[in-house]
Amino acid sequence: MAEKKREMAVVASQEQLADGIFSMWIQTEAAKTAKPGQFISMYTNDAAKLLPRPISICEIDAVEERLRVVYRVTGEHTGTEEFSKLVEGDTIPIIGPLGNGFPLEKAEGKSVFLMGGGIGVPPILELAKQIRCEKTQIVVGYRDEQTFLKEQFEENGKVYISTEDGSAGTKGNVMDAIREQGLKADIIYACGPTPMLRAIKAFAEENGITCYLSLEERMACGIGACLACVCQSKEKDHHSNVHNKRICKDGPVFLSTEVEI
């Protein structure tokens, strides 16, 4: 596969969805080939910040050659804070699409859980739009009542919500929502923080459910060269000859039985 080249994307629009949560549409050639579950690396214009920030793809408009990213600002003097100040017409250097996305074909004819937590919620949207299955159950977890993207999820499946403070949906996490509603599925696609994915992995394996996890990890190069973002795997990685996989290159989506988290 040819190495991805950096390009200068153009901001088409940006809006704030919730406290610290921003949505940005960018004009980019990466939209032509992007798939649900992939990500882009976005660079700041601060020379002191050499490494890009990996941001999951939320929506894809291949016809108009646009991508949507929904991200959380993680603090002052961070790349995400700089991104949040961009407006229509501004440019931003990116590389993408990167990584391996969700295997949509595995869901055909099946009842599916699409599960997202925190900033792992946005990449579930394009997955919900593209997946073709018998029954789409979208289970998403938030901190509080700011349930961003909820209306768009409802256009693409049955939505179940959990909140940490109980202000909307089930009080607790996504697994609590599944138990409270007595939900069942043949296959799971999930994206979110490691503790959530660990619980989903255990649930899937206990119940014999095929499960694909999109792992979150701090990345450096984004293209698999530096080994900064590795997870333990069952098999030896041919690149490093140890039991790990590079999340940016081999993932971020993995079959749950392939990795230890």
The continuous run of DSSP H or E covering 91 comes out as strand 91-98
Q: What is the mean pLDDT of the chain?
A: 88
Give start-end residues of each CATH 2.40.30.10 domain in the chain.
7-98
The position carrying tokens 């992939």 is 38
Topology of 7-98 in CATH? Elongation Factor Tu (Ef-tu); domain 3 (2.40.30)
The pLDDT value given to residue 251: 61
Topology of 104-216 in CATH? Rossmann fold (3.40.50)
Residue 142 DSSP SS3: strand
The position carrying tokens 């990213």 is 69
pTM as predicted: 0.88
Two tokens at 238?
């041919």
Residues of the chain with pLDDT under 70: 1-3, 47-49, 76-77, 216-251
The pLDDT value given to residue 178: 97
Two tokens at 138?
């979208």
The pLDDT value given to residue 4: 76
The pLDDT value given to residue 45: 76
The pLDDT value given to residue 92: 95
Residue 148 DSSP SS3: coil
Dihedral of CA atoms 192, 193, 198, 204 in degrees, nearest 10, equals -10
